[in-house]
Each structure stands twice: as structure tokens, then as C-alpha cells.
Amino acid sequence: MTPTTDLLPALAQKVGTPFWIYDAELLRKRIADIQYITSTPGVHARFAMKSCPATKVLKEMHAAGIGIDAVSGNEVLRALAAGYPGGQEPAQVCLTCDVFRDNALDVVLKHNVLPNIGSPGQIQDLAKAGYKGGISIRLNPGFGHGHVNACDTGGPSSKHGIWFEDFTKIAEQAKAAGFPIYMLHAHIGSGPQFDELVENLTRLAEEYAELVPQLPDLRAVSLGGGIPHNYRDPSAKVPLDRLKDLFANCHALLCKAAGREIRLEIEPGRYYVAPTCDLVARVTDIKETQNNEKGSGVKFAMVDAGFVDLVRPAMYGSFHRITVIPQDGADRPLEPIVVAGPLCESGDVFTRDDQELLQPRQLPSPQAGDLLVLHDAGAYGYAMSSNYNSIGKAPQLWLEKDGTVEMISRRETLEDLLKAECSEAV
């Protein structure tokens, strides 16, 4: 059941605005898509939980046999709390990070999760901490790119991974420290074009196939995440058959190069969750600026959600479809509207491009009291929300197939915001 224009006003009445609403059925459909493209024996899927770490989502992933790619000690602990086991036989939870921060090393040691290191010094960090076990190495293969430049994950300007030409040196260091290399990994981003993703993943598998014969302990190769989601066109489909064939071919290539079974892994985030959650806000006011020597005037729809809720438009100029649910149910003429939030930041605008320029959107003339829905906000949405301006995070609701709605996290209160404040001598 998808959230309808009848349901949303009723929910807004009950829980206030803004709020997030997940569509459980659509999430299961997206999980099924990933299960399909990884249905070749020897091909496995993880979920990059950074994109949406809600326990309810993690439980769905666990029930579907999807592994986890975590980024911090606390993400690992959230996965374990949702039912995932630690350990490396097999490594259902893997910790991919360039920096071990806070409890990350302790969590690796205590739960024996597979560390996927992205910086050379982490071998010493693990050795000093007394770690015993296998490691995964995340390489920067020197190519690939993200959906925007800021998300570039492969190439000289990317901070992620260990530069591929340093691999031999790192492999020697790992050997000297007594860490067998269990996995080779790279995440090269989705890129703006699907064909480019396919080309890049093929090239990655070919380059890894050259390294595989030198690695007797190797169990798996991960091609990372990056399966795209079309934020502009809800009817657009990713060619799943092509991906299934691609992963089957990459798996066969790696097994042939190794002369034995090598598991092929992928770890998408956004594809599973992007369309499965919307952010619902209330229009609080309409105001206008006028043309002058600095530029053209615009009409603003002021809403009660801001970049503390959904930061992607402000951070990357990301596009999210917007619909208006008029309070009176009337049909309204379209007009160009800039949608802006409550924060004390000029960039608190949902309709702008990656050059930080306003991009008024053709919307049915909004009025105060209408609901305004920001669609496809499930990936890097709530997960990236913050407490700037001390507003507190909005509640997350979960819509089940049978129409029942559950609140899975409540609206944060002032007490939540003050919880970590203290006065302790150091």
C-alpha cells in the first residue's frame, strides 16, 4: 500500500509535521530486485546501512538474507541489535571505514566482524589493538565516479580506499602483521549513466582478477554499491537482467582467475531504500520577492521541514520530486515555486541545483496549510538528518501492506537534545 493523499493528512493530524513515512511493501519489492540480481550461486548482497539504519529496515534485510556493510562501531552494534551475528564464517557484517573512530576497533575485536580497511595505517591500528583475523582491503582503483562530484569514490581526488598501486606494499604489511586478506573491495559510485556503471564494474572485476592469483586466502571480492535510482522519473527501471548477467560474469571471471570459488559481493544502499520513504511537510506561508538589479523575484512556499530533515538538496543540489496535497482538495494551477524551510540558513531550500542556484519548481499553487511531500527520501534522508537549530528529528512512520501504520521513531524532544550535555571534570 502506498501512502495516499487521504492517508497523509490524517497522519499529519495525528503526529504533526514534518514526518517520514516508509512503504514496507515497496521496500520488500526493492529487496526482491536485489535478491534477483544476486541469485547466481556465489553472488551475495549486502546492504550499505549508512543509507537508512532504522532497525525496522535492518530486520527486513536480515530476514531476506542480505548482509550488512557498516561504517562505524555503532552501525555494527545497530546491526547486531537487529539480529545479525558477528564473526567471519561467513562475515555477515563487515565494517568499511577509512578511520577507526570511537568504539570501532573495540567492536571489531569483540564481535570479530570483518574490517574492510581504506587507509594503510589501519593495519597498524589493528595490530596494536591485538586483532587476530582476516581483513578486507578497500582499494581506490583510480576510476569511477559518484552521482555528483562530491560523491566521487574512485580517482585521485577521492579520499576513499587505498590507492591501487600501493596494493603490493599493503599486502606485504598485512602478511607481516599476520592478517590474511579475505576480501578485496572497491566502491566506485553510480555515475550519471547506467552504461558507465556497467563498464566501470566490468573493468573493476577485470583488474581484481589480476590480483586474485596472488591471494591464497581470498574468499570474496566486493564491487561495492552504486546501483542508481532515478529520482526524476518514478517509472524508470534499472535493467535488472543486465546487472544479474554482469554479476554472474564477474563471478565466473574471478573464480576462473583464482582456480577456485571466490564469492562476489555487492553492497547497494540507495537502490533498496530511496523510493521507500517520503518526507511530509506542511506549507506554513507563501511569500514573494521582487525583481531588482540583483536578480529576479521568486515565490517561496515556506514549509516546516528543512535541511535538518533532508539535507541532500542543500548538500549536493539533489533533485527530489515534490507533490502538493491541497488542504481543500482543489485543483490548482501550476506556477514556479521555490520551496524553503525553517532554518536560519539561506541554503535551506529544497529546490536548487548543485551550483547552489535556485530552481523554482512548477507546482500546483501551494497555500498555507497544504501538505507538501518530498519523495524518494529513503536513502541518506533520515540517516543524514541533524539537530542544527535544536529542532529535533521528525518521527518515522512505517506503513504496512495491510494499511496499518506504526511509529518507529518518535519526534525528538528538548530532553533528547540535552541528553548528552554534562558537567564533568576532565
Ligand X SMILES: Cc1ncc(COP(=O)(O)O)c(C=O)c1O
Q: In the complex, which residues of this chain contact ligand X (CB under 6 A)?
A: 48, 51, 69, 96, 153, 187, 190, 224-227, 267-271, 379
Q: Collapsing DSSP states into helix, strand and coil, what is residue 420? A: coil
Query: In this structure, are residues 307 and 343 in contact, taking their beta carbons and an 8 Å threshold?
Result: yes
Q: In whole angstroms, how close is the CB of 49 to ligand X at the nearest point?
A: 9
Q: Which is nearer to ligand X, 62 or 145 (CB)?
A: 145
User: How many Cβ atoms sit within 10 Å of the Cβ of residue 264?
Assistant: 24
Cell of 370: 497544504
Conformational region of residue 138, where left means phi above 0, alpha means psi within -120 to 50, and beta covers everything else: beta
User: Which residues does 35 contact at the CB level (< 8 Å), separation at least 6?
Assistant: 45, 64, 65, 66
Q: Which is nearer to ligand X, 17 or 385 (CB)?
A: 385
Q: Which of 52, 97, 344, 422 is catalytic?
A: 344
Q: What angle do CA 69, 71, 73 make, to 5 degrees?
A: 110
User: Which residues does 346 contact at the CB level (< 8 Å), separation at least 6?
Assistant: none
Q: Which is nearer to ligand X, 30 or 282 (CB)?
A: 30
Q: In whole angstroms, how close is the CB of 70 to ligand X at the nearest point?
A: 10
Q: In whole angstroms, how close is the CB of 246 to ligand X at the nearest point?
A: 15
Facing residues of 48 across strands? 69
Question: How far apart are alpha carbons 203 and 194 in whole angstroms?
Answer: 14
CA dihedral (138, 144, 150, 151) positive or negative: negative
Q: Is 344 an active-site residue?
A: yes
Q: Which is nearer to ligand X, 80 or 274 (CB)?
A: 274
Q: Which is nearer to ligand X, 139 or 363 (CB)?
A: 139
Conformational region of residue 193, where left means phi above 0, alpha means psi within -120 to 50, and beta covers everything else: beta
Among the listed residues 332, 310, 314, the one whose alpha carbon sits nearest the alpha carbon of residue 382: 310
Question: How far apart are alpha carbons 374 and 17 in whole angstroms?
Answer: 13
Q: In whole angstroms, how close is the CB of 51 to ligand X at the nearest point?
A: 5
Q: In whole angstroms, how close is the CB of 272 to ligand X at the nearest point?
A: 8
Residues tagged active-site: 344
